Amino acid sequence: MTKNRNIPEGPEKSGEFRDSTDTPVDDIHRRIVGREQTEPDEGLEPPPAWVWVASVLFLFAMGFYLGRYGGSWSTVAHEVESPMSAAATPAKRVVDGAQVFVGVCQTCHQANGGGVSGQYPPLADSDWLTSDPETPVRIVLFGLEGPITVNGSSFNNKMPQFADKLADDEIAAVVNHVRSSWGNDAPPIDEAVVAGIRAEIGTRGPWGAAELLDARKRK
């Protein structure tokens, strides 16, 4: 067995330590250290795959949650949960009768309620309109046709029905408006009156003047 000069030898069999001055310790260290990999830095290891999967699932879940319950970042969204807020008791809409009149009735009955001679009867000072509230509601709901005398003038034309086009509160508002405009001074009605007449009659064709007088007497 030949001695390797570079490998330090253990204690001699004799039990004596060999003088180490001629042992090239630096050389040996350099070789050993150079052969070894440097230790990987702790904390920079790539995370395991399940961490990636869990993170992606978590992000999707949170995105879904925000989309579903985030209320589009609206501050109003939170009022739904607060019973004290105004949203819990939705404000009843207030219909402007004058606006309904302008949009729906004015083309025929004119802005001053004077109608058009021979074609559209006046609403100003009309006792069809002011003597009881139900008659104008009946007219607006189902229309009116045939001969009729208004304020001493004769008409024989046709007014369309509005049961399909106007809601109860709109009809109540516009009837209240015309009953209290152009010198008319009749008390207002509630939309329940409109709902009652609508429910009672259902659907029908336009009234004639005589039918309206009958209905007024029967009530």
Which residue ranges make up the site for ligand HEC (CB under 6 A)? 104-105, 107-109, 120-123, 126, 128-129, 136, 139-140, 144-146, 148, 150, 155-160, 162, 174, 178
Name which of 142 and 155 has its Cβ closer to ligand HEC.
155
Name which of 23 and 106 has its Cβ closer to ligand HEC.
106
Strands 144-150 and 153-159: antiparallel
Name which of 87 and 102 has its Cβ closer to ligand HEC.
102
Name which of 104 and 197 has its Cβ closer to ligand HEC.
104
Between CA 97 and CA 135 the distance in angstroms is: 17
Q: How far is the CB of 215 from ligand HEC (least distance, A)?
A: 13
Name which of 146 and 188 has its Cβ closer to ligand HEC.
146
Q: Please, what's the b/e burial string for 124-157 (b: 16 or more CB within 10 A of its CB; e: otherwise)?
A: bebebbbebbbbbbbbbbbbbbeebebeeeebee
* Beta strand ranges found along 78-152 (DSSP E): 144-150
Q: How far is the CB of 203 from ligand HEC (least distance, A)?
A: 18
Centroid of chain to Cα 47? 44
Q: What is the DSSP string of 26-89?
A: HHHHHHHHHHSPPPPPTT-SPPPHHHHHHHHHHHHHHHHHHHHHSGGG-GGGGGGG-TTSGGGS
Between CA 121 and CA 115 the distance in angstroms is: 5
Q: How far is the CB of 162 from ligand HEC (least distance, A)?
A: 5
Q: How far is the CB of 218 from ligand HEC (least distance, A)?
A: 18
The encoded tokens of residue 50 equal 């399940």
Name which of 129 and 194 has its Cβ closer to ligand HEC.
129
Q: What are phi and psi of 160, to 5 degrees?
A: -70, 165
Between CA 63 and CA 72 the distance in angstroms is: 12
Q: How far is the CB of 85 from ligand HEC (least distance, A)?
A: 36
Q: How far is the CB of 142 from ligand HEC (least distance, A)?
A: 12
